[in-house]
């Protein structure tokens, strides 16, 4: 870590972790988030789940409430969530969870975008 980086970031704990205020304008403003040093990128990628199950909930006047499950390769999770946020309409993100083996009916394979 460079001297400039050390001056910008003073962690709460000797291991480089701690808590910080959420200071952007958002629904969770005023709460705190936990931070910690991360593993090098390739190591971190190797440890994460290969897929994620993104569950959305759809409620509208035209349809009965229901949930949709999308199985998304880890490498494109951020892009998928961004697309869903911008284009989802009444469909909102309900929760996201790791998924080691999506059902074959999902027809997804790990992306290799690196």
Q: What is the largest CA-CA distance in the chain?
A: 58
User: Residue 16's domain spans which residues?
Assistant: 3-35
- Given a contact cutoff of 8 angstroms between Cβ atoms, the answer to whether 74 and 110 are in contact is yes
Q: Note whether residue 11 is domain-resident.
A: yes
Q: What is the pTM of this model?
A: 0.80
Average pLDDT over the chain reads: 88
pLDDT, average across residues 85-103: 92
Does residue 86 have a pLDDT over 60?
Answer: yes
pLDDT of residue 114: 47
The tens digit of pLDDT for each residue in 5-40 reads 555 667 888 888 998 888 888 778 889 889 998 999
**Which of these, 41, 107, 40, lies nearest to 75 by C-alpha position?**
41
Domain-located, residue 67:
yes
3-state secondary structure of 101: coil
In a domain, 57, yes or no: yes
For the chain, the domain total comes to: 2
Q: What is the pLDDT of residues 60-75, one digit of tens each?
A: 888 889 999 999 999 9
Residues 100 and 60 in one domain: yes
């Amino acid at each position: 870590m460079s001297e400039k980086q050390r001056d910008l970031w003073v962690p709460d704990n000797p291991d480089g972790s701690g808590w910080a205020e959420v200071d952007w304008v958002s629904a969770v403003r005023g709460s705190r988030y936990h931070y910690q040093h991360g593993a090098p990128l390739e190591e971190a990628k190797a440890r994460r789940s290969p897929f994620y199950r993104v569950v959305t909930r759809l409620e509208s006047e035209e349809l009965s409430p229901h949930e949709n499950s999308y199985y998304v390769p880890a490498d494109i999770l951020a892009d998928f969530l961004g697309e869903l946020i911008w284009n989802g309409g009444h469909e909102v993100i309900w929760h996201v969870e790791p998924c080691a083996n999506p059902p074959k009916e999902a027809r997804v394979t790990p992306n290799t975008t690196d």
